[in-house]
Structure 1
Amino acid sequence: MSADPAGRRPRHLLPYLLIAPSLLALLVVLGYPLVDMVTLAFQDMTRKELFSGTAPPWAGLGQFRTILGDGFFWTVVARTALFTGVCVTLTMGCGLLVALLMRRTSPWVRAAVAGVLVAVWAMPVMVAAAVFRWLFDADYGLVNWLLSTLPGVDLARHNWFTDPWEGFAVITAVVVWGALPFAAISLHAALTQIPPELEEAALIDGARPSQVFRYVTFPAVKPVFVMGTTLMAIWDFGVFNQIWLMRGGQPEREYYLLGVYSFIESFAVNRYSTGAAIALVTVVLLLAGAVLYLRQTLRLGETE
């Protein structure tokens, strides 16, 4: 009996040894930039120190006092939170609808839809942004032409990005369009694990279709839905490429989200430490989302 724990000790260490190379790679690839960003956020880096190679002066919490005392920063935070909420709601809602529709279709239709979703998912963000810029172009856009064919609608040479609300609607469409395949395929995979007998029994007992979905179907896919919602929130909170590409590399202040704001402060205004401080605050907010994701994962693991 006494020799058994000692004999099993190498087996207990085996999982840690297997993940050690991956952890080491993550520390090398992500650890150094993160430490450098944190250090830069507490300094006052200017172009003088950048070009001369001298150490920048220590600023302490000065950068954080600057951004946290700036009303525009909190406007960007609120805008980012609102944008994330809208994108996540539309993505998961439409993804669940597509997954339910795929479940009701024939196998060949389901395979075709899955193929289209995978093709959309594989499309680079740059290509997707270029397609949507053409669709909503003020002069040659297909959307303006189609809407102008409706009675009483004249959108000839209408610029969708003059009004930030309309512009963000277009950007939201790009984000949701690119994230929808992940949500739909994941939820459809969860739906395939529901025994048909459960729903048939509920219908025989007199439950309406809406009640079957509420009390039988959705509880079965809820774990995947919660995980997908958490991941989408983390991804959408850090959106940068879609805004940058849709605005041609020159986004107006009305289109700043936290990622764009940090980049502009660092590389356009050359306030490197201020940009690093904004990025660090963004990382902290994303870590809060990551903690929520891990808690949900552990909780679902315990229930199983």
Structure 2
Amino acid sequence: MSVVDFPSAPPAPVPPAASPAGTAAARKRRRTTGGKAPYVLVLPCLALLAALLGYPLVRMAVLSFQQLGLRQLFGDLPPENVGFDNYARIFTEPAFYQVVGRTVAFTVVSVGLTVLIGLGVALLMRRVAPSVRIMMIVAMMFVWAMPQLVATQTFRWLVDSDFGVLNWLIDRIPGVDFANHSWFADPVQGWIVITSIVVWAGIPFIAITLNAGLTQVPRELLEAAVIDGASSWQALRRVTMPILKPLMVIVTTLSVIWNFGLFTQVWVVRNGRPEEEYQVLATWAYSLAFKNNDYGLGSAIAIVTVLLMLGAMVFYMRQMFRIGDVD
């Protein structure tokens, strides 16, 4: 039997290698995709931010270089430009460093407690039944939605020296006399109350956010760690926390920014007249501006506060961009 030779198929053409110029042109086309449309669409948002945030900040910066009191505010005298005199007064005032130290100490303690307790609640939420988890989320959402003024006033009633429920409960302990006890006579006890208010209000955000992050931890990695003999603590430290680290950094930085600007809780519990031991940067600036009628000095303290918070904001933005690059 003869063998018929069929013609072989022609070889597939090899695509030409992309030249460096062509690759660069492709990258340029990708970068310019959309033209000017994204910038046009973002202009209304930028204009709104400039009107709501930019102008007050610029105005406050201008006031910080002026001497502005009641005579200039309600009289016919123009504000007097004093240069850096207001800032010199701040940095030569011993009370300034005490207020800054108190604000930083409060921020470190409150943020640390909020993140630790929030992480514990988030881990607990992953171990309970879905129905219980939903109830926990709903309860924390109610806490998170409560206005700061209402929450602070509620805590103030709880620790009231005459009718406070907390004093009544502690007084029921044998051998303890807490009748008519004032929590704010001692600054340490007073700051425990203020810190409790801030931590209580901050836990829902941390817990709900970290709970969402824990859902992204692959179950296979945890099971593999358990099979390899890792304990629950080792699995948390070696598997869960590295995956959760970017989210932990973000929520911690946001908490630092929020707690550093503490105002409402101190102002309400001290009836709008915080003593020297309870002054933080925000309340100190407000008191000097609107109680002592020294708006220039108050603006200077506010600018210093913004500059101190700017470090945390820059760190937050760097983490956001870094996570974006990883994604």
> Shorter chain as normaliser: what TM range?
over 0.9
Matches within 5 A, 1:152-167: 152-167=175-190
- The verdict on how the C-alpha distance between 1:11 and 1:243 changes in structure 2, with shifts beyond 3 A counting, is same
Greater mean alpha carbon deviation, residues 109-118 or residues 150-159? 150-159
- Structure 2 length-normalised TM: 0.89
Name the counterpart of 1:97.
Answer: 120
Match of 1:87 among 105, 110, 117: 110
Deviation of the 1:299 alpha carbon: 1.9
TM-score by length of 1: 0.96
Tell me the CA shift for residue 302 of structure 1.
2.3
SS of the residue corresponding to residue 11 of structure 1 reads coil
CA distance, structure 2, for counterparts of residue 214 and residue 7 of structure 1 = 41
* 2:97 is equivalent to residue 74 of structure 1: yes
1:257 — aligned with what? 280
Structure 2 partner of 1:232: 255
Q: Percent identity?
A: 47
**Structure 2 CA distance for aligned equivalents of residues 161 and 94 of structure 1:** 25
* 1:63 aligned partner: 86
Task: Say if 1:4 and 1:145 are closer, same or farther in 2 by CA, change over 3 A.
Answer: closer
Q: Which runs of 5+ in 2 are unaligned?
A: 1-21
Q: Quick one: distance in 1 between partners of 2:120 and 2:29?
A: 53
Q: CA deviation at 1:62?
A: 0.4
Q: Which residue of 2 aligns with 1:26?
A: 49
SS class of match (1:173):
helix
Q: Which position in structure 2 is the counterpart of 1:121? A: 144
Structure index of larger Rg? 2
Name the amino acid aligned to 1:95.
G
Instruction: Output one character per residue of 1:48-78: Cα deviation in whole Å (capped at 9) or x when no partner.
Output: 1101253211100100000101110000000
Distance 1:7 1:185 in 2: 37
5 Å-filtered alignment, 1:1-304, equals 9=32, 11-304=34-327
Q: What amino acid is the match of 2:122?
A: A
SS in 2 for 1:98: helix
Secondary structure in 2 aligned to 1:75?
helix
Count of aligned pairs? 304
Q: 1:188-232 deviations in whole A, cap 9, x for unaligned?
A: 000011121211110110011110000001111111110000000
RMSD, matched Cα: 1.7
Closer, same or farther in 2 for the Cα pair 1:11/1:244, shift >3 Å?
Answer: same
SS in 2 for 1:279: helix
Letter in 2 for 1:235: W
Whole-Å separation in 2 of the counterparts to 1:179 and 1:84? 12
Query: What is the CA deviation profile of residues 107-137 of structure 1, one whole-angstrom value per residue up to 9, with x for unaligned ones?
Result: 1100000000000001111110111011111
Tell me which protein shows more helix as a share of its residues: 1
Q: By how many angstroms is 1:145 displaced?
A: 1.3
Task: Name whichever of 149-158 and 204-213 sits farther off.
Answer: 149-158
User: Offset at 1:154?
Assistant: 1.4
Query: 1:12 Cα shift?
Result: 3.8
